[in-house]
A and B are shown apart, each in its own frame.
Chain A
């Protein structure tokens, strides 16, 4: 999927699927393991919300089913939502999948619905690391899942990786990277393990990642992925040329998108807003015909420009030279047209640079 494949101005739809079979130790997302009885009602509510929103939408250039575990629900239920949306020609349609649950039939069904991008939650290729993350799948399942994606003719594949577990050595992480690259994905996302308060990982300081090890692992990922032909285009995202995730680019460009379902965020006309966190409250709001919105914010012009800079800093587009003060200049390098982008070491210190940026 190339950026130019679609002529319409970018407009995205995110649909949140808040169900999982099992909760990982590090996960702080809005997702539940004990509410599968709500799935039908929930998906019907999503469909209804999609229908209501569709009237005011420009052509949709990207759709992202995230979670949670979107491939825990019947493909046809995702299809029902898709069917309500005014999709642009060549729209990017992504489904996040747990490799445990991937089947050939499922992928075939996705292909039939027009899904053209699969993001697999691989996390690690090393069993004891997966254990330590509280993940269930076996590494061989990943290869089978990748195979199923390919068989179904789905053109774009992303693998999500996580580094930084206390149980993971640098060679373990290298093995994960090498095996992921061997699977030949179009796109790799590599995330540093982040202890979030209220999660089993967050509440156990002895399991918190070591920052220096995280830095070493990040630099290793950057090196191996670049060598394998992946270009970094955002702090945690690498893609083969032309395989950048169009939906995610929207986020970093302050683009317009609407969220469907609970805990989904939207950004339109300079306003950010988000829906209620639980599926129950979402279902209740939709069935009562009231807004599921839980909160919103509208930024002032300077705040907006600052946010734009801070988001652009995360990407290979970078920021104008004039925004960067001298004391962090060594963390950036030239990008296109009078702009600077973070070096690999700079990306690791992106927050430090971001708080020092000034509006040019």
Chain B
């Protein structure tokens, strides 16, 4: 069954590593196809979010429709980070082929490779392209043979382009038409349209990117969202050319947008199948998943008065990003805040940055944690993502932690450094393959908790930035895990509790007590800072009592000054958080929670 009407269609994504030139290529395609005139071209048109432009990565998928040699091409942008693997898979589900874009001076990177495997598993056609051939350091022959070895694609099929100069881009567009198959689909079958991205627009509500598989998606139809179960009226369907252009209907194979009066992106998540309310399809499209948050942290306003602002900001943010979870949490040390869940570490950083930047909040984030599975002696199963919620050691039969299969691609010179790092993070190697004599892929099983601390930074610094990383979730594994509590003057400080492997407990305890001893000002009494597992103290520091705080001279000219000094000192006390009798400045928490320093 093939689509009959209109020009033939090709749907494709570009898979590329950060900085390998995806945005530049997208810009060039828009220009060449006349979708965007050169003079109105804003560099990197598709990366519209401010944060995306700054970090040079794509967080939310976008799509654009262009014409080339009497064909309609839909370029579907994919998120460019490992945290958003599910979103990538949904974007790929909207395509019949991908352009694999590789920097001709660097070769394929781990995550690109992983996405390529994902595309191969989905039977997508791969059009391999080496970019930046204008660079003096480019080695297209070397990396073409690497692609052949790794992906089994004949090196003669690898195109060479420079997205920057435009060289080879026309040939690439031709190859897309030639090699990628047209979409199938039956216009007369019941509607099945895949949502592969949704974002919240404050004027229009949720705007979803859709790919019609079967049937026709028409403006004015009543629609059923098969997973979320909602019934909505199709208010507007349209195309992104890339300017938003309403249309009457989208047929099989077509990609565009849908606005259906939805206020919450959770009602129209990536992977959702939209069908007609009156003539529904029997089954939704395959591949829907509800991505679970994997990394958690507490977010607290530095100024306790901003708690309602933080609540509102999180609610607004979630309209646009259904994968963030949050619920109220109270910390003895930090006051009122929220326990938030994220897809990964980058996702966490992005959300935090957006909260601070777009909503003007100043936040304290607790150390990131993963979700542990705990079986108690009563055979009860718990999920614990906040160390404070862990039952006492005596009641725990087993704790299991989430595991990852991690793939690292590195120049072979750094193999030893990468192996050292993985081993120090409790990793076990599962395989090691040479992509070429110069490059090796190492595969490890690693606990997620070890990766969310500063694994990525460490990997980059130990390989001078050359290694790349991809990971996949790989279930849970029971481990010898303990909770380390930090006691300030014998009072536990919940913000610093951490679950870690027994072997890592002592170094953690020692590091954090030493850091706090530096940061906590001297009080009127000695303050012991202890790290403990259960009742056992594993590290201890003492902040000695303050002995002197007095203005030596107080004569005529000093009296006003002294009074003001004491007023300031009183004000300063108000900005302290009291942990038992100990007064701790907010800044001490902020600094101590920056574990990487």
Contact = CB atoms under 8 A, between A and B. Distances in A.
Q: Do A and B form a real pair?
A: yes
Interface stretch (A123-131, A145-153, A347-355): A347-355
A192 to B, nearest CB: 4
A259 B581 contact: no
Contacts, number: 91
B51 to A, nearest CB: 40
A259 B556 contact: yes
B547 A310 contact: no
Contacts of B597: none
Contacts of B562: 310
Contacts of B524: 327-328, 331, 349, 352
A314 B550 CA distance: 10
A14 B556 CA distance: 9
Contact of A352 (B546, B555, B556, B560): B546
Nearest to B559: A251
Contact of A267 (B549, B551, B556, B573): B556
Given A307-B563, A350-B551, A355 B569 contact: yes
A305 interface: no
Nearest to B524: A352
Given A328-B524, A352-B524, A314 B552 contact: no
A191 B556 contact: no
Contact of A348 (B550, B554, B569, B573): B550
B548 A218 contact: yes
Interface residues of B, number: 24
Q: Chain A CB within 10 Å — which of B524, B554, B556, B559 has the most?
A: B556
A194 interface: yes
Nearest to A346: B550
B573 A211 contact: no
A74 to B, nearest CB: 25
A309 B547 CA distance: 22
A279 to B, nearest CB: 16
B142 interface: no
B170 to A, nearest CB: 66
Contacts of B474: none
Given A252-B554, A259-B556, A327-B524, A349 B548 contact: yes
Contact of B547 (A212, A252, A259, A355): A212
B553 interface: yes
Interface string A292-313: 0000010000010011001100
Contacts of B550: 192, 235, 347-351
B171 interface: no
A257 B328 CA distance: 59
Given A272-B559, A307-B559, A194 B569 contact: no
A352 B549 contact: yes
Interface in B514-548: 524, 544, 546-548
A211 B548 contact: yes
Interface string B565-597: 110011001000000010000000000000000
Contacts of B569: 351, 355
Given A307-B559, A327-B581, A349 B554 contact: no
A343 to B, nearest CB: 13
A306 B556 CA distance: 17
A214 interface: yes
Contact of B553 (A14, A236, A310): A236
B394 interface: no
Contacts of B560: 265, 272, 274, 297
A265 B553 contact: no
A196 B373 CA distance: 57
A314 B566 CA distance: 13
B152 interface: no
A235 B581 CA distance: 27
B287 interface: no
A327 B546 CA distance: 14
Contacts of A311: 554, 559
Contact of A354 (B548, B553, B556, B566): B566
Nearest to A352: B549
Nearest to A303: B563
Contacts of A251: 554-556, 559
A81 interface: no
Contacts of B566: 310, 351, 354-355
A194 B551 CA distance: 8
A169 interface: no
Per DSSP, are chain B's interface residues mostly helix, strand or loop, or mixed?
loop
A327 B573 CA distance: 15
A248 interface: yes
B317 to A, nearest CB: 40
A272 B559 CA distance: 9
B437 interface: no
Interface string A143-177: 00000000000000000000000000000000000
A215 interface: yes
Interface in A79-94: none
A328 B573 CA distance: 15
Given A14-B556, A310-B563, A351 B546 contact: no
A235 B559 contact: no
B6 interface: no
B570 A355 contact: yes
A274 B547 contact: no
A194 B565 CA distance: 14
B136 interface: no
B556 A351 contact: no
A263 interface: yes
Contacts of A257: 556
Contacts of B553: 191, 194, 236
Contacts of B546: 211, 349, 352
B182 to A, nearest CB: 74
Contacts of B555: 248, 251
A154 to B, nearest CB: 21
B557 interface: yes
B563 A211 contact: no
A328 B562 CA distance: 20
Contact of B549 (A14, A303, A306, A348): A348
A117 to B, nearest CB: 15
B573 A355 contact: yes
Contacts of B547: 211-212, 215, 345, 348-349
Contacts of A348: 547-550
Interface in A235-285: 235-236, 248, 251-252, 257, 259, 263-267, 272, 274
A327 B582 CA distance: 12
Interface string A324-360: 0001100100000000000001011111101100000
Contacts of A14: 556
A351 B549 contact: yes
Given A349-B547, A352-B524, A194 B552 contact: yes
Given A310-B563, A328-B524, A355-B573, A265 B557 contact: yes
B556 A349 contact: no
Given A310-B566, A327-B524, A328-B524, A265 B549 contact: no
Contact of A192 (B548, B556, B581): B548
Nearest to A257: B556
A210 B570 CA distance: 24
Contacts of B565: 351
A252 B569 CA distance: 20
Nearest to A267: B556
Nearest to A191: B552
20 contacts: A192-B550, A211-B546, A235-B552, A236-B552, A252-B554, A263-B557, A265-B559, A265-B560, A267-B559, A272-B559, A272-B560, A274-B560, A310-B566, A311-B554, A348-B550, A349-B547, A349-B548, A349-B549, A352-B524, A355-B570
State the 5 A-B residue pairs at the shortest beta-carbon distance, nearest first.
A215-B547, A265-B556, A192-B552, A350-B550, A265-B557
Given A192-B550, A251-B554, A267-B559, 15 more contacts: A194-B552, A234-B554, A248-B555, A251-B556, A259-B556, A265-B556, A265-B557, A272-B559, A272-B560, A310-B563, A311-B559, A327-B581, A331-B524, A349-B546, A349-B550
